[in-house]
Amino acid sequence: GQNIDQPTEMTATEGAIVQINCTYQTSGFNGLFWYQQHAGEAPTFLSYNVLDGLEEKGRFSSFLSRSKGYSYLLLKELQMKDSASYLCAAMDSNYQLIWGAGTKLIIKP
Amino acid sequence: DTAVSQTPKYLVTQMGNDKSIKCEQNLGHDTMYWYKQDSKKFLKIMFSYNNKELIINETVPNRFSPKSPDKAHLNLHINSLELGDSAVYFCASSRGGTELSGNTIYFGEGSWLTVV
């Protein structure tokens, strides 16, 4: 079956770096998305990877290894506003998104 | 202007009632979706429409009926509401098609449905 695994919760300190991992199993693969969702709000798009390697976008970077079915989201210089859930989603061969349950990131001062 | 807007944002209703959630997108996208996010925070797709045509209909009770009067609107009507229908319902849109770079999904703000 199709499955996305990511940690349920992580805690980090303001100003630090945190890496949120995601492993996926899908029928075919057409890319990996990361979304940010603040409590009580809609998910917002962060990144899209379809080729192996690291994509950097400001304080956020996303990495993909297709052979390992693995991705991570790297957040640098953490700010309190980064406290949110981070959703990993893989697109299967039918271009449908398979969503993980999200990783709740708690930032402490 | 809000790209994907849905109303109402909050809805509390009694079991057995019929309710609708409306959704509109002004992004010019061809594909619209309804997702349900339950208490475990999984986003589960319910329906997907491309140019007003239904292309995804997951295993959803037939009490849920989507309606797309045009490609900018996708409304969700729910009959005979049950306690288990309590969840957050997100409308979303994307350019659709098979262009990988165009498949970013943009979400509405969510509609919090509570059935009592």
Strands (E), B38-94: 43-50, 53-57, 64-70, 73-78, 87-94
The secondary structure of chain A as a DSSP string is --EEE--SEEEEETTS-EEEEEEEE-SS---EEEEEE-TTS--EEEEEE-SSEEEEETTEEEEEETTTTEEEEEE-S--GGG-EEEEEEEE-TTS-EEE---EEEEEE-
d(CA B73, CA B58): 19
Of A41, A45, A50, the CB nearest to B104: A45
Best A36, A46, A99 residue to mutate vs chain B (most B CBs within 10 Å): A99
d(CA B12, CA A27): 38
Res B96 pLDDT > 70:
no
User: How many angstroms separate the Cα of A49 from the Cα of each of A32, A46, B18?
Assistant: 5, 10, 41
For the segment B77-105, the average pLDDT, to the nearest whole number, is: 82
- Average pLDDT over chain A reads 94
pLDDT exceeding 90 applies to what percent of chain B?
A: 64
Q: What is the pLDDT of residues B16-70, one digit of tens each?
A: 999 999 999 999 998 899 999 988 778 888 988 888 788 777 778 999 999 999 9
Chain A contact present for B59, CB below 8 A = no
Of A42, A45, A91, the CB nearest to B109: A42
Res B107 pLDDT > 80:
yes
Chain A contact present for B44, CB below 8 A = yes
Q: What is the pLDDT of residues A29-82, one digit of tens each?
A: 989 999 999 998 999 999 999 899 999 989 999 999 999 999 999 999 999 999
Cβ contact (<8 Å) for A43 and B90? yes
The pLDDT score that the predictor gives to residue A30 is 87
The pLDDT score that the predictor gives to residue A13 is 97
Name which of A90-94, B87-91, B93-97 the model is least confident about.
B93-97
Q: How many A×B Cβ pairs under 8 Å? A: 44
Give the three-class secondary structure for B14: coil
The pLDDT score that the predictor gives to residue B97 is 57
With beta carbons under 8 A apart, name residues in chain B contacting A43. Answer: 43, 90, 107
What is the chain B residue with the closest CA to A51? B100
